[in-house]
Amino acid sequence: MRLKIGLASLLLTLMLLFSLTFALPVTAASSQYITKGNTTSKMVAFTFDDGSDGKNTTKILQILSANKIKATFFITGKAAENHPQLIKNIADQGHQFGNHSYSHPDFTKISAAQIKTELDKGEAVIKNISGKTTKPYFRAPFGSMNAASLLAVGNLGYTKTIGWTIDTVDWKGVSSSEITNKVVNNATPGMIVLMHTGEGATGTPGALQNMINQLKAKGYTFVTISQMLSTGTQTATSGQHIVKSGETLTKIASLYGVTVQQLATANKLTNINVIRVGQILIIPTTNYTVKAGDTLTKIANAYNVTVQQLVAANNLTNPNILKIGQTIKIPAKTGTIVPQPVPTTINYTVKAGDTLYSIAKRYGVTVQSIVTANKLASANVIMVGQILKIPASTGTIVPKPVPTTVNYTVKAGDTLYSIAKRYGVTVQSIVTINKLASANVIKIGQVLKIPTV
């Protein structure tokens, strides 16, 4: 009897070890970048970033409490350490927390291991003080993320990276009326509003009550991020596209048969090179009402688009089924919406490190099209300083956006390096735009132009 039990126990142990040894690896999952709730209901999520002194937190909490509104606070670990009582007050009033890192570095410039340290330390400090976790919500310092950092963040349990619909830029010290007007005049269902609690955001407390009053008058309700996202999953509706890992604006434009510029205009993009995984893009379209005898092929031919582009633009599950009276969105490929200029070329001067592949990828064309346009003998031989003709990829060439700037007043302890790091630009770009004689000499009170594109 004992022998039977012993053999059974041994067999069970071996089976367990075998299952552990050959367990399937965990699949990595990127964090979803969200800038707006997927809802048609008039609701708004107020969010507050606390990365420093939290000077205005008490006033903000008083206003939220008086109006019985819950908000979401994205806190850095250092801020929580600096004013733990304010963190307790936020928790006691039932507001939601999100992780804003420990020390506010640019996540696109640090390793996955460093990202883990930042998030783990931030979570530990906030949870120790408030008893609440920040997961699964994260907001990137400076709003700066890329595919690698989204993957690293997602693997740590922060499945939602929260951006914003409206940035009040209150940290610049803009007035209460400017903040109020920006939010109220641009209000849309599901919007996420970014504000700050620090000393620089002097206009925020005054604007908050005004925004609440005016938005209530428009029929808006106020929710936390978790409440906003629970109203529906982040899915694309007809005429929309959710950005996936590895996609570019050029690739998406090609999928729907539109131009990069049309996408940029429809989505008010200031930089065509910056889109984020999970971002919802509006596809510019015109509408067509299905008539008796219509097929998707017939409609596609009439509008000079492909059947696949119609399927994608309308999220059709079966391209063979159309109903009379059904509205079909037509991608804005024809002159009906935005006329396309005659295909042309632009000149590009080869720089050190360039390859024909990297140049083709940058302009959304093929290597062969550049070889043909320039009558090159080999795709592997180009020289620094050589001028290449770049053929248009979609009937138009999208110019680079005109650089814009913000002003920054130099403070004690600032260096050009620290300022450049804060804004995610290079030291040289600041030197160039300000025509500085030296990158090592700046003065307290000096106003610098910071390029934002």
Residue of 49, 50, 106, 170 with catalytic role: 49
pTM as predicted: 0.51
Measured at the CA of 273, the angle between CA 382 and CA 238, to 5 degrees, comes to 130
Q: Is 49 a catalytic residue?
A: yes
Nearest Cα residue to 165 out of 44, 324, 296: 44
DSSP 285-339: EEEEE--TT--HHHHHHHTT--HHHHHHHHT-S-TT---TT-EEEEES-STTTSP
Query: Quick one: fold of 405-451?
Result: Membrane-bound Lytic Murein Transglycosylase D; Chain A (3.10.350)
Q: Are 192 and 167 in contact (CB under 8 A)?
A: no
Predicted pLDDT at 13: 55
Spell out the CATH class of 240-331: alpha beta
Predicted pLDDT at 398: 42
Residue of 100, 104, 196, 241 with catalytic role: 196
Residue-wise pLDDT tens for the chain (453 aa)?
A: 444 445 555 555 555 444 443 333 334 478 888 888 888 888 999 999 997 788 999 999 999 999 999 999 999 999 999 999 999 999 999 999 999 999 999 999 999 999 999 999 999 999 999 999 999 999 999 888 888 888 899 899 999 999 999 999 998 899 999 999 999 999 999 999 999 998 889 999 999 999 999 999 999 999 999 888 875 444 444 567 777 777 888 888 877 777 888 888 778 787 777 787 777 788 777 777 888 778 888 888 777 778 878 887 787 777 778 888 888 888 765 433 333 333 456 788 888 878 888 888 777 778 888 888 888 887 778 888 888 888 764 444 444 443 467 788 888 888 887 887 777 677 777 888 888 877 778 888 888 888 754
| Homologous superfamily (CATH) for 32-229 | Glycoside hydrolase/deacetylase (3.20.20.370)
Nearest Cα residue to 152 out of 182, 192, 209, 109: 109
As to burial, measured by CB atoms within 10 angstroms (0-12 exposed, 13-18 middle, 19+ buried), residue 29 is exposed
Residue linked to tokens 């000096």? 446
DSSP 44-85: EEEEEEESS--TTHHHHHHHHHHTT---EEEE-HHHHHH-HH
Predicted pLDDT at 92: 92
Residue 295 structure tokens: 């097929």
Residues in the chain: 453
Residue 311 structure tokens: 């399927």
406 DSSP β-pair partners? 450
What are the residue ranges spanned by the domains of the chain? 32-229, 240-331, 345-391, 405-451
The answer to whether 240-331 and 405-451 have equal CATH topology is yes
Spell out the CATH class of 345-391: alpha beta
Nearest Cα residue to 252 out of 132, 393, 379: 393
136: preceding bond cis by omega (within 30 degrees): yes
| CA dihedral (148, 150, 154, 156) positive or negative | positive
Q: Is 53 a catalytic residue?
A: no
Predicted pLDDT at 344: 55
